[in-house]
Amino acid sequence: ELSGGVMETVVLHPEKDTLPAYAELHCISNFSFLRGASHPEELVAGAQALGYAALALTDECSLAGVVRAHLAARDAGLKLLIGSEFTLAEGTRLVLLATDRAAYGNLSELITEGRRAAAKGNYRLTQSAVERWAAGCLALWLPPDPFDEAMALTELEWFATTFAGRAWIAVELLRTGRDAEQLAALQRLGTTTGLPLAAAGAVHMHERVRRPLQDVLTAIRRGETVVQAIPALYPNAERHLRPRAVLKRLYPPELLAATVEIAA
């Protein structure tokens, strides 16, 4: 495992080490235009190879990649979750996961409304639009990094009310140097709001070797060269499907267990 350019060796002793079950709940593909650096099929194959319990495909305001993901997951024997990521006009970022056919229909209606409200290639959605189409969907709140806890509490009040009993705070520990600080802050928010926490990976690629491509996509999206885009590039290649041995070291066990409960 390469981390920050340094090779990590993970030695497992089957009689001593038990890898935790894990389901990736926040994953975008190349169907999130100029953001994701892997095909849905590659993401499914990668999750299956790593022994994930499930994979959620959550392209931004889109379900365009789910057919390819479904076919790949069916052949691989991997449980696939259908969802989508959104950034609302109010600034709220969240992932919605459909739980059944009716919820899938509501998610589709929400995406349609958002796309129709903006020029081609963009979308615009408000919290009120989400409220209209929230039935049946599970929700993950995606905190900005860094974030203001007081402002987050206001946002989470709406989030917890809209998705009562089916809302989680996503904890995405990406080795930025602030993981411990971010985890502690999110745990405080969870205690204050009563919302449970769940691990997630903000996955943009199936393997870290796609990092250069992901950087180029970011630069193209911004209309800049890669050098000009450096301040906007991710600081490392952690937004890939990570081995469960690595996740075990990064996350409290209850956050990993929550992903499997949500997938179920």
Mean pLDDT by 10 residues, the chain (264 residues): 51 64 98 97 98 98 98 98 98 97 98 97 97 96 88 94 97 95 96 97 98 97 96 96 98 98 98
Closest CA to 204 of 246, 244, 247, 240: 240
Phi, psi dihedral angles at 241 (to 5 degrees): -70, 115
pLDDT at residue number 9:
56
Q: How many alpha carbons lie under 13 Å from residue 33 in its C-beta half-sphere?
A: 9
Residue 243 exposed, middle or buried by CB count within 10 Å (0-12, 13-18, 19+): middle
pLDDT of residue 16: 46
Inter-CA distances, 27 with 6, 73, 101, 121, 227, Å: 25, 14, 21, 20, 26
User: To which residue do tokens 């970011």 refer?
Assistant: 218
pLDDT the model gives residue 10: 54
pTM: 0.92
Q: What are phi and psi of 71, to 5 degrees?
A: -65, -40
Q: CA–CA separation, 19 vs 53, rounded Å?
A: 12
* pLDDT for the residue numbered 15: 39
